[in-house]
Amino acid sequence: MPDLKVEQPKSLVAIVEERLRNAIVDAEMRLGETLSEEALSEALGVSRTPVREALARLQLQGLVTIVPKKGTFVFAPTEEDVAELCVFRYMLETQALRECMSKARAAALAAMNDALAAMEATQASGTRRDYARADTIFHEVFFQHCGNRYLGNAYRGVSGRVAALRTHLSVPLEGEQERSMAEHRLMVEAFAAGRLADLDSILHRHIMRAWDAYADVLRSGGSPT
């Protein structure tokens, strides 16, 4: 029997969810910003029902906070939230890299090199937000080739917040792209050489530096973009 599956068009809710998710991740919206269903429905040209359902989905992803009788807001993590997220992310990524090394080393390395080339291209001709998107794709490679769907599912549960913090932090900070690019090159070199201890060290430094940058903003009384 041939494959008779047909492509189903995205529902309106899925389209609205994707657009709002991208707006948060790409820093079109500020962390902690108030989200009005009415204003969003007007801006998107849809009724309030798909907006409300999309916001509920984004709440499950940790990108939106809905407070009864107060309103809906873009997530605004505390220092403790970011610290816990960074530790969890580090645990997931290091284990995923170990799985990649043992199960699909060549494929993972090729994908990492492709992602690294895309990052370098955005440095030359793209915007800082383009770089942040390419950075996100680089880290997704670990889970695409780790061969463990549970690791992948765990990462997808926090990937929106990770990507959003990356954009909100790396876009405004001078010199961040250069530091990030150097660390990604070192990661690829260590993976290619099979130096897992070095890779763990580089990744830990890379992830915790994001935590330090966000914490500095909070302690200074400011707010990310």
Q: Residue 185's closest CA among 198, 197, 172?
A: 198
User: Are the CB atoms for 9 and 43 separated by under 8 Å?
Assistant: no
Q: What is the pLDDT along the chain (225 residues), one digit of tens a residue?
A: 455 554 556 799 999 999 999 999 998 999 999 999 999 999 999 999 999 999 999 999 999 999 998 999 999 988 888 899 999 999 999 999 999 999 999 999 999 999 999 999 998 887 888 888 999 999 999 999 999 999 999 999 999 999 998 888 766 677 778 888 999 999 999 999 999 999 999 999 999 887 787 777 667 655 555
Q: What is the DSSP string of 82-127?
A: HHHHHHHHHHHHHHHHHHHHHH-HHHHHHHHHHHHHHHHHHHHHS-
The DSSP bridge partners found for residue 67 are 71
User: Are the CB atoms for 56 and 66 separated by under 8 Å?
Assistant: yes
What 3-state class would DSSP assign to 139? helix
pTM for the complete prediction?
Answer: 0.84
Q: Residue 177's closest CA among 200, 209, 224, 155?
A: 209
> How much of the chain exceeds pLDDT 70, in percent?
91
What 3-state class would DSSP assign to 194? coil
Q: What is the DSSP string of 150-184?
A: HHHHHHHHHHHHHHHHHHHHHTTSTTHHHHHHHHH
User: 15: Cβ–Cβ under 8 A, 6 or more apart, which residues?
Assistant: 50
